[in-house]
Structure 1
Amino acid sequence: MRRSLIDAKVLVTGGSSGIGRALCKKLVQRGAHVLATARREDRLQDLERECRQGPGSIQTLTGDLADPLHRHAVIDWIDGHWRKLDVLVNNAGAGAIGRFEQAGEERLRRIMEINFFAPAELTRECLPWLRAACASKRRPAILNIGSVLSHRAVPLKSEYCAAKFAMRGWSEALRVELVAERIDVLMLSPSTTKSEFFDSLLESTPGQKSPSVGSMSADQVAEEAIRVLIRSKRERILSWGGRMLVWLGRFFPRLTDWFLERFAIPKPNA
């Protein structure tokens, strides 16, 4: 069954930049009513201005989803304005680059909080409003923006990989738990995306460059997210490079380890 986005009530986290921002614009263009959340108020205000001419509409809330009070504010807004939720897009995320041994406990906990615990808790709190959408003859959906790194981890991003592995496992379990209620749990797993993600890392090893080969634009990833929603695709892994990494890691794990050790870890004086 194809999902219509016209008049759909959609919550998008991490909507101020990158994939989230591009997705908000495309949803509004397709007639959806969007609530976008992010930490940067000025960027959200810019997004509202950019979406004024769309057939849909957009509202914004500023805050950190890792803060339970902000999550409660989001739920209160849905309760006061929509009384249902057709689509939840868990997109907000953060990363760090560097050797695991050289990082502190705070980095691990912060990345797990932003990339896994916060979206999981937000989803739990949104479930009553997703169920309410079933009564309006719509089939609600949860779209989790994951990563190819939820299938094959790479060095220097151990905490981020762990969080994305957790999200994929949780998504698979939740999908089965909700199937009888006709709530779809979908996942989009991009490879490297040209966005501000690498400009806002929590920590980064000096001299480590953000990858660019094979990168997709945020707009391209957002268009794929729309397709996943419309077609109710369980999971879509993006880019030939991303699919190749997953395939190699599955069937040739030792070769993949060797390749990553050789080419993904900067060598001294290299």
Structure 2
Amino acid sequence: MNETRTVLITGTSSGIGLAAAVAAASAGFQVVATMRDPAKAGPLREAAEAAGVAGRVQVKTLDVTDPASVADCVAEVVAEHGRLDALVNNAGAGVVGTVEQSGTEPFRRAMEVNFFGVVEATRAAMPHLRASGGRVVTVTSVGGVVGQPFNEAYCAAKFAAEGFLESLAPVAASAGVSVTVVEPGAVASEFVASQQLDIPAMLAEAGPYAPAMEAYLDRARASFGNAQSPADAAAPIVAALTAERPPFRIQTSESARGFVGTKLSDLDGAAVQELTEGWVGKTSFRF
């Protein structure tokens, strides 16, 4: 393909999205890097400048929870660049808590960003991706395969996204569009910090779940202390954009592969429960 390929990436103000935007531009793509608030584009612009690809990174406003914002942005991209070759669904939002204490509102918020945002952006991009023989690459999570304690809302939304995309993949392929999900584990990025968790308040409000939550948070802090870098997590995204025949499912590290593999070979669910019950301390119930 002689024409420059154009990729739209959501959620690029920090972390994996920022790293993916710079890496895709370095691989020769024209990158449309989107975010809810372009005032936060400074770190992305600086990273693109440092990599020598500032001319191939264009920042646009896009809020994946606003269908009009999604439609307008995709239309602008096609009008300005004449094509859309790939969509990277990266925008996401984390939620920590358990349903009895939190209620259902956090679940609705998580679904809006992590599931319906993916659905809306994919729907808007599909006609243009069919025209270019393009691809959809979506950053889900190992939490889209393995349910994790106190991540009920987040994992539910990521499970939903994976179910949507796994179902869409053969349909999209029949029209010449490939679909891939990229599953990171712990990544050292601003995603965790952006949740602005007030841990003492969370523990105080956790009621009978406080000991389990404290054990989970201790483990989470340890795992993110040894987390993968955003650049390493973004590399498989670019691989999915450039491979002749990308796979449907890609994990971003050996630890993520092992973690996801536990679930994919766990027919009765016992192995996953044995793994995750240790995250919350001793349990009085055996599955």
TM-score range, shorter chain: 0.7 to 0.9
1:137-216 paired onto structure 2 within 5 Å = 139-201=133-195, 205-206=202-203, 208=217, 209-210=220-221, 211-212=223-224, 214-216=226-228
What is the deviation of 1:263?
Answer: 2.2
CA displacement, residues 79-137 of structure 1 (integer Å, 9 cap, x when unaligned): 3202321010000000111122111322111100100101111111111211222xxxx
- Answering whether residue 124 of structure 2 is matched by residue 112 of structure 1, we say no
SS in 2 for 1:51: helix
Partner of 1:89: 88
What is the deviation of 1:64?
Answer: 2.1
- Answering whether residue 239 of structure 2 is matched by residue 223 of structure 1, we say no
Partner of 1:235: 249
- Answering whether residue 60 of structure 2 is matched by residue 66 of structure 1, we say no
| Count of aligned positions | 259
SS in 1 for 2:157: helix
Distance 2:225 2:277 in 1: 18
Whether contact under 8 Å (1:15, 1:21) holds in the other structure is: yes
Query: What letter is aligned with 1:235?
Result: R
Partner of 1:37: 34
Identity, % of aligned positions: 30
Query: What letter is aligned with 2:279?
Result: F
SS in 1 for 2:166: helix
| More helix, by proportion | 2
Query: What letter is aligned with 2:156?
Result: A
- Answering whether residue 44 of structure 2 is matched by residue 47 of structure 1, we say yes
Partner of 1:244: 258
1:100-139 paired onto structure 2 within 5 Å = 100-133=99-132, 139=133
Query: What letter is aligned with 2:9?
Result: V
Distance 1:51 1:62 in 2: 18
Whether contact under 8 Å (2:10, 2:62) holds in the other structure is: no
SS in 1 for 2:33: strand
Distance 2:236 2:282 in 1: 32
1:46/1:256 CA distance change after superposition, 3 Å: closer
Whether contact under 8 Å (2:63, 2:69) holds in the other structure is: yes
Runs (5+) with no aligned partner, structure 1: 134-138
Query: What letter is aligned with 1:21?
Result: L
SS in 2 for 1:247: helix
1:254/1:56 CA distance change after superposition, 3 Å: same
Distance 1:230 1:266 in 2: 46
1:5/1:24 CA distance change after superposition, 3 Å: farther
